[in-house]
Chains A and B, each alone.
Chain A
Amino acid sequence: MIEVNDLSKRYGDKLAVDALSFAVRPGVVTGFLGPNGAGKSTTMRMIMGLDRPSSGTVRVNGRPYEQHKAPLQEIGALLEAKAIHPGRSAYHHLLALAASNGIGKQRVLEVIDMVGLTEVAHKRAGGFSLGMGQRLGIASALLGDPRIVMLDEPVNGLDPEGVLWIRNLLKDLADGGRTVFVSSHLMSEMALIAEDLIVIGRGRLLSAGPLADFVARSSRRSVRVRSPQAASLRDLLTGDGVAVSSDEPGLLHVQGLEAAEIGERAAAAGVVLHELFVQEASLEEAFMELTRDAVEYHATTTELATAGRTNR
């Protein structure tokens, strides 16, 4: 459980994070999206207590991170790949981190095996590829078998097999009751793994809630209607806030009307329908629509951020 409350971070004149509030609940994978420079990494660093908030609070499993007695058991984070001395081996890097929290050598070997670095564990990390560095970062995040796993761009530099592995890993972690908070630029990847979504832009919250709701709210959502009487149907549907388009005879794409409404109007007018299909927008389309609208920045927070959904 991560609770971010009215969090702000100012660097000189620039407000990198602006009164951000959201909660990340356990048991599901929560995606963290935002354009470049939106403040995702800054927010993650503040969650880890690495950057001090200018105002506001962060609670990790109920209290500020630095108040935990065994921090690595509470949250494991990958914030940047290859943050390791190039002359040190992956094994010793992890062994040192583990030692500080009283985690044994056995667990170090276990996480090395889990991320597939066993063969190179005793080699100098300076020779690691980005993908290997990424795996090492994930290994350090898993070291304390933490209740929260937070990964910043975990699939960067991973091969397709590695991407698949991450996907399964994150789902398993969430299924095991852990809080999983992941940022990524890859929308298709996010659409596959995330159940909840937090979207920020210019440091402010744009949306928080189930990914399905986020996509469904998009105006890009349309209803596909196939009818032999497409022309008369078009007249029935056209109206305020409704856009009807067609790219082949007998087929209409309707935006702004629910499928049920279309069906009822057709039935009332005796128009025959061959197909009536709700076409969801892709996550990417929904994301672009929300973040391109840089002027309005209307926050569309749903109940995710409220106490009713939390497990406490």
Chain B
Amino acid sequence: MSTTALGPQDTQRTTGTAGRPAGGLRVTFPRVVHMEWIKLRSLRSTLYTLAITVALVIGLGLLLSSLVGSGEGPGQDDFSDPTSISLGGVNLAALAVAVLGVLMSAGEYATGSIRGTLAAVPARLPVLWGKVVVFAVVSFVLMSVAVLGAFLAGQSVLSSRDMATAALSDPGVFRAVIGAAVYLTGAGLIGLAVGVLLRNTAGAITTVVGALFVLPGLIQLLPSSWNDAIGPYLPSNAANAFMTVGSSGDSLSAGSGFAVFAGYIVVLLAGAAVLLKRRDA
């Protein structure tokens, strides 16, 4: 300890009236949101991860936009349209955001700080909703900036290379760009919910990565009738339906894709809420 001895006068302050905070103390939902906001901003690792994710979305979008069709990188056929070229970093970024979501919930179980949190907010559910609000707002704002930046920068690179470009005012383009921010935010919320369900960081990350990124590939190995029946309803494929400008034959429409994707999040969060309320902390 680098601190010096505590005299009796230090301890007396606890019992004195001076230490008692002013009235009006109670738990309210905005206060729980404030708690979660302080937790999020006070971890350097979280801030770095968010910054790296934004950089990833913009950087990969720029890279793909300057490489596509040049013979070195992916060909133009790999992308359905100019918008998807500039949003090429979104899938990798979704991985980072999903992990961040897991850390925000399962991380509290790993360190044991969840008990302090639930002792301060014994009603429990406000803690989950507080995390959802803080995470959703922060990631949606940052990811919107990232995908808009990636889109605008990517289109200007494509335009400078005399390639086809898209404008936000073109049909479906704005929806696809904001859809990418929705997908990123949603991937994080799925991570957050699975983190509460499993209460184990490694297990939750494996589960989320498997469901979002590995499963779509595995499904393609199944007979095509199965693939056609199941494939479009996987979370990442459903999200793809509202992140792409046009819609291909075998995927859902943008609207149903969003409904399915949102459905996953709602169901997972509901399950997380039930277990958080019921289980021993």
In the complex, which residues 128-180 of chain A have their Cβ closer than 8 Å to any Cβ of chain B?
A: 129, 131-132, 140, 142, 144-145, 159, 161-162, 165, 168-169, 172-173, 175-176, 178
Quick check: A100 and B120 within 8 Å, CB to CB?
yes
A228 CB to closest chain B CB (Å) equals 49
A66 interface residue (CB < 8 Å to B): yes
A92 to B38, CA, bound (A): 7
Chain A minimum-CB-distance residue to B124? A66
Chain B minimum-CB-distance residue to A106? B21
* A100-B34, A165-B6 as given contacts; A175 in contact with B115, CB under 8 Å: no
Which B residues lie within 8 Å of A161 (CB)? Answer: 5-6
Interface residues on A, range: 35 or more
In the complex, which residues 119-134 of chain A have their Cβ closer than 8 Å to any Cβ of chain B?
A: 119-120, 129, 131-132
Which A residues lie within 8 Å of B8 (CB)? Answer: 168, 172
Which A residues lie within 8 Å of B13 (CB)? Answer: 110, 114
Quick check: A66 and B112 within 8 Å, CB to CB?
no
Stretch at the interface among B42-50, B74-82, B205-213: B42-50
**B253-281 vs A, Cβ < 8 Å mask (1 yes, 0 no):** 00000000000000000000000001011
Quick check: A119 and B116 within 8 Å, CB to CB?
no
A94 to B24, CA, bound (A): 19
A1 to B119, CA, bound (A): 17
B1 interface residue (CB < 8 Å to A): yes
Interface residues in B, total, Cβ within 8 A: 52
* A100-B32, A116-B4 as given contacts; A145 in contact with B20, CB under 8 Å: yes
Which A residues lie within 8 Å of B28 (CB)? Answer: 102
Point out the residue from B4, B26, B34, B123 that lies within 8 Å of A66, measured CB to CB. B123
**A269-301 vs B, Cβ < 8 Å mask (1 yes, 0 no):** 000000000000000000000000000000000
A172 to B12, CA, bound (A): 6
* A66-B122, A80-B112, A119-B2 as given contacts; A102 in contact with B31, CB under 8 Å: yes
B14 CB to closest chain A CB (Å) equals 6
14 A-B residue pairs with Cβ-Cβ distance under 8 Å, sorted by A, are A45-B115, A45-B280, A71-B121, A83-B113, A85-B43, A85-B111, A89-B42, A97-B116, A97-B117, A99-B38, A114-B14, A168-B11, A172-B15, A175-B15
